[in-house]
């Protein structure tokens, strides 16, 4: 199933969510290679005083392997956000995404992210000014409201459509929920019914079956996969294939997963350099191992990997793990089944 955002037709309707500290360039490239239809970059502050920081420079990195360049910006000043959108469009962004969904305290205390949902007039002003500032499509990520007693997602969606926003991603929790409890999809279904622009359903979509259930329940144009892709970069592509063909492909074999993990660690080292690459690889390897191994085994290997301080030691560890898993696979003891983690 295709998804159209402005002039851009995606290969499918499964999008990797923007996640700070996760969807850097190496991770986006890997998820797209494995079948995601679009991968949105980590959020960038609209504050011009921080645009030249090392973090912002790394988050702006792009490559042809990362396909369409969707840049997410965060802030609360309409003029500043409009200027940031214009700068990023001039810098090559194909899509400008606005963050009104992040529940993190450090973002909300600046009246940005999901905190904006409590001021519908300001939301309208921001969206109108950003849309007017650029010639590329503007998309928006929101939550269902500020709290369970104030789910105003339908109002926000209508404001967005009227302002010229061309696609909407909705996380099925409120700002107050943060990531607690289960996502709810009734509000997303109401938003789909209220607007004509494409709506992506987001929140707790961690398997092919859950994606199908959410699409059937909401009528959304597609799904956005977030935390479930950590350690399972094949998941968005797996879901996309299942939606397109009706057949859910199996997860990669243990050997294939370990080869992907090793290649990804090499890409992280190349992207960040030895010092940062070694440290950032730790969390990515932990996500891979958590989805691959039983909990006790995962904790053992994680505690062995994290203290490693050199590139050579990290690769030696991964080779040793691959050898052990290969030995298990060839022995009478079957390896742990690979399942899509919740």
DSSP string, 60-115: T---GGG-S-EEEEE-S-HHHHHHHHHHHHHTT-SEEEEEE----HHHHTTT-GGG
Distance of CA 191 to the CA centre of its chain: 21
Q: Say whether 31 is catalytic.
A: no
CA neighbor of 287 nearest in space, from 19, 53, 41, 63: 19
Contacts of 169 (CB under 8 A, 6+ apart): 15, 17, 101, 139, 140, 141, 142, 199, 200, 202, 224
- Catalytic choice (102, 108, 191, 265): 102
CA neighbor of 174 nearest in space, from 76, 100, 73: 100
Distance CA 28, CA 36 (A): 9
> What residues are paired with 70 via a beta bridge?
40, 95
Q: What is the DSSP letter of 40?
A: B
Positions annotated as catalytic residues are 102
């Amino acid at each position: 199933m295709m998804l159209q955002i402005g002039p851009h037709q995606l290969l499918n309707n499964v999008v990797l969510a923007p996640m700070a500290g996760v969807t850097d360039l190496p991770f986006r490239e890997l998820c797209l290679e494995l079948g995601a239809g679009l991968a949105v970059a980590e959020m960038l502050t609209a504050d011009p005083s921080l645009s030249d920081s090392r973090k912002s420079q790394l988050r702006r990195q792009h490559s042809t392997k990362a396909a369409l360049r969707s840049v997410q910006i965060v802030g609360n000043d309409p003029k500043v956000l409009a200027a940031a959108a214009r700068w990023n469009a001039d810098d090559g962004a194909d899509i400008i995404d606005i963050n009104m969904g992040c529940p993190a305290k450090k973002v909300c205390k600046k009246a940005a992210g999901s905190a904006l949902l409590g001021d519908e007039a300001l939301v309208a002003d921001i969206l109108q000014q950003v849309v007017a500032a650029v010639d590329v499509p503007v998309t928006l990520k929101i939550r269902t409201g500020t709290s369970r007693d104030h789910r105003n997602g339908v109002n926000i969606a209508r404001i967005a459509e009227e302002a010229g926003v061309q696609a909407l991603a909705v996380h099925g929790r409120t700002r107050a929920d943060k990531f607690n409890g289960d996502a709810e999809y009734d509000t997303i279904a109401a938003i789909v019914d209220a607007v004509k622009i494409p709506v992506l359903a987001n929140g707790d979509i961690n398997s092919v079956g859950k994606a199908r259930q959410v699409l059937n329940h909401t009528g959304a144009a597609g799904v956005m996969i977030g935390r479930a892709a950590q350690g399972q970069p094949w998941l968005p592509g797996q879901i996309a294939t299942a939606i397109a063909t009706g057949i859910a492909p199996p997860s990669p074999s243990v050997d294939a997963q370990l080869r992907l993990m090793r290649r990804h660690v090499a890409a992280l080292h190349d992207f960040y350099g030895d010092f940062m690459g070694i440290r950032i690889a730790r969390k990515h390897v932990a996500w891979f191992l958590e989805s691959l191994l039983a909990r006790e085994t995962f904790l053992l290997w994680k505690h062995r990997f994290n203290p490693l301080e050199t590139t050579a030691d990290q690769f030696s560890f991964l080779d040793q793990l691959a050898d052990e898993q290969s030995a298990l696979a060839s022995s009478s003891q079957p390896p742990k089944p690979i399942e899509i983690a919740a």
